[in-house]
Amino acid sequence: MTDHTDIVFKRHQGQAITIEGEAPARTRISLHVLVDRYAYLHMPDPQTIVFADQVVYRITGYDEGTLTLELVEDWRPAPTVQLPLTDEQAEEIKAEWKEQHGNGGVVHPVTALGEGDSGT
């Protein structure tokens, strides 16, 4: 028996629907999805379904109103991973910041107001 995992969609207000997380290798969908006017999918040929212009599935079976799908392509960009900075990189960033923003001294000179001076 083959395990099937749900595709997780996310609706973004004022933007497109996206596929969240990893696209499952195998999934199932109801035939009703194909006629849902809010479903963001298209079928470039009778055996292929493209969801949200992001993932491509091939239809591999049908059982009681449900299509069985297998992932063909995931067009989404690979997630970027921010690796921790090395000590050398951190020191370089600190040096650049000090060069651009000064030496940590007083930024603006402070002038004490004399007695009786209202400051106006």
Q: What is the pLDDT of residues 14-31, one digit of tens each?
A: 777 888 888 899 999 888
Query: pLDDT tens-digit profile of 31-56?
Result: 888 888 777 888 999 999 999 889 99
State both tokens at 11.
Answer: 């609706």
Confirm whether 114 is domain-assigned.
no
Confirm whether 51 is domain-assigned.
yes
As a whole number of angstroms, the distance between CA 54 and CA 73 comes to: 8
Q: Contact at 8 Å (CB) between 59 and 48?
A: yes
Confirm whether 94 is domain-assigned.
no
Confirm whether 67 is domain-assigned.
yes
Confirm whether 100 is domain-assigned.
no
Confirm whether 13 is domain-assigned.
yes
Number of domains in the chain: 1
Q: Contact at 8 Å (CB) between 93 and 86?
A: no
pTM: 0.61
What are the helix (H) ranges across the chain?
32-35, 87-101
* Residue numbers of the domain that contains 50: 9-74
Confirm whether 52 is domain-assigned.
yes
